[in-house]
Amino acid sequence: MSNDLYNLEPEIEVPEFTDEEKAKITSVLEAKQRSSSSTQAGILMPKLSYRFRVLFNNFGNSHGLDITRNIINCETPTYSLVNNVESYSDFKFTVRNDICSLSQLEIRDQIDKQKLTNSTFDCTLEILDGSIGIGTNVLEKREFLGCQIIGVEHSLVDYAMSDTQSITVTVKPTTVKMM
């Protein structure tokens, strides 16, 4: 080890490989190259459960913008096929109730629209890749069409908890498209 105060680079010993070890490493790397080029290039990566966004169309009075920004989680409906008839279960999404109650107002506006005009809205769940920024890629898309709110549940308020208040909305879709 050098005692030179200005030499801040650590001394690293690089191991010497025998010809046999070099051949093994080369064959492993070549095998990996062949397998990845024959199937799919890149690294195998699972879909991340926290990389998603939910978009709304014709929701409330601001078209769901405040709801989209406050989404905490979203379930997907289960699909069943009985006697060649497709059916989808209800699904839920949970939103953070902000200090101005914008999410709560949007949900209330949508319920009022449904009562007065039997209005429906569309909801799109997009599963995103792991990239960050504007160039986010959509890996999977599920469209829920002709949706109506059938239930609203507010979270518990409790002096012993420091959680944010949330609203869970139960939705009934008429059609689901998976892309």
CA–CA gap between residue 125 and residue 143 (Å, rounded): 6
What is the rounded distance in angstroms from the CA atom of residue 64 to the CA atom of residue 103?
A: 9
Residue 103 three-state SS: helix
Task: Say whether pLDDT at 83 is over 60.
Answer: yes
Of 62 and 56, the structure prediction assigns the larger pLDDT to 56
Query: Given pLDDT bands bounded at 50, 70 and 90, which one contains residue 29?
Result: low
| SS3 label, residue 115 | helix
Cα 143 from Cα 54, distance rounded (Å): 10
Residue 99 has pLDDT above 50, yes or no: yes
Q: What is the pTM for the complete model shown?
A: 0.67
Q: Where do the domains of the chain lie, and which CATH numbers do they carry?
A: 52-178 (2.30.110.20)
